[in-house]
A and B are shown apart, each in its own frame.
Chain A
Amino acid sequence: MKKFDLELAVGVFMILGIVCLGYLSIKLGKMEVLGGEGYEIQAVFSNSGGLKAGSSVVIAGVEVGRVKEVALEDYRARVVLHLPSHLKIQEDAIASVKTKGLIGEKYLEITPGGADKIIPPEGRIRDTQSPVDLEELISSYVFGKL
């Protein structure tokens, strides 16, 4: 390619720009391009404690999936989780909302169970734990209830 022509220059520019935009939105914006193979399960909490779509789902400290949706259902928070298809969650696993550090963001921790039965796609985690309310804890400590 001797001549550095118009079309080539524009093409190079477009590719470079789109690659950068793609990097930003996929790597940092957590956009799912291929719909993400995997399945979804639900968990119902009495208090989701500020969990939001895009929060991470963690097992033993390893991030395995993301929260897809948080919605209200019968005055309780219904959380939809997106998990990779190779990951099986047992029937008696416990889902709990936790906080990174003292004032960090919220994430969802799944504590695996021991049952043989596996939760099918669109199934539900039965045991859930709402987050610890730090203020309530402190106030009960201050007022000597603890």
Chain B
Amino acid sequence: MNAVRKLGTYTLGHLYRMGTMGLFLVRMLVYTVIPPVKFTRLLRQIRFIGFQSLLVIFLTGAFSGMVLGFQGFYTLSRFGSEAFLGPMVGLSLIKELGPVITALMVTGRAGSAIAAEIGIMRISEQVDALELMGLNPYRYLMVPNFLAALICLPLLTALFDVVGIFGGYMIGGKLLGVGSGTYFMEMANYVEMSDIMEGVYKSLSFGIIISWVCCFKGFYASIFTGFGAEGVSKATTQAVVLSSVLILVWDYFMTSLLF
């Protein structure tokens, strides 16, 4: 009897949390559509999520492209079709690796910080103070993060793709001897506008996922994950884990949807 009750409590708790999360997204979207937007906060968040991620994205992009150059050349040379190194590197970066790795890096670098920041504001009652002053916490905290992630992720993904393509060229073209004309022209032949748009759609949706999950986990830090510093640390961990998992799962569905 007791065990059954526990199961019921567990299920209801989960349902409640999922419902709250859904409502949180709806509220965030609603306040995004309704002006005014806190413009300075938005700029600050773009600097934080976008500008300060540049170095990380640059490094990961370059090395992903370079390793793709190596692995692609190795695999393709077995079939004697090294000429297709360009399309292989380009397509896998633009359609898959670019959006996903960028989103994961942004989650690790910015998402965790967003969750921790909002979580600490929550446990030190700064969120309540905002409400008391008549400031809407959604408008002040969530919407700038949401919009900034939406703006930054496609741009960061594009940077990742371009840096990766040139990284692949450094290895494939300069080191392993695929001609630069072959590399770039074959790539231009095989990459379509729809492939690039697929990458953009993916990165936009990842931006929604990151800002949604990280803001939610931070905002409900003391309510769902316990009080004090421990609650914030738990919330931050959960935010990073959940958004990373959601990114990969959602990536599968996006791919099968856009296939």
List chain A positions with a Cβ less than 8 A from chain B: 6-7, 9-10, 12-14, 16-18, 20-21, 23-25, 27-31, 54, 56, 105
Contacts and interface: CB of A to CB of B under 8 A. Distances in A.
Contacts of A30: 188, 192-193
Most buried by B among A12, A21, A23: A21
A13 to B, nearest CB: 4
Given A28-B188, A29-B191, A30-B193, A13 B47 contact: yes
Interface residues of B, number: 28
B154 A17 contact: yes
Given A24-B196, A29-B193, A9 B47 contact: yes
Nearest to B191: A28
A13 B90 CA distance: 23
A10 B43 contact: yes
Contacts of A20: 155, 158-159, 161-162
A33 B104 CA distance: 32
A27 to B, nearest CB: 7
Contacts of A6: 40, 43-44, 47
Contacts of B44: 6
Given A13-B47, A28-B196, A105-B189, 6 more contacts: A10-B50, A13-B46, A14-B50, A17-B156, A24-B94, A31-B193
Nearest to B47: A9
22 contacts: A6-B40, A6-B43, A9-B47, A10-B46, A10-B50, A10-B51, A13-B46, A13-B155, A14-B46, A14-B155, A17-B155, A17-B158, A18-B155, A21-B154, A24-B94, A24-B161, A24-B196, A28-B94, A28-B188, A28-B196, A29-B195, A105-B189
Contacts, number: 73
Nearest to B153: A17
A54 B192 contact: yes
B162 A24 contact: yes
B187 interface: yes
A23 B139 CA distance: 35
Interface in B151-193: 152, 154-156, 158-159, 161-162, 187-193
B54 interface: yes
B40 to A, nearest CB: 8
A16 B192 contact: no
B80 to A, nearest CB: 12
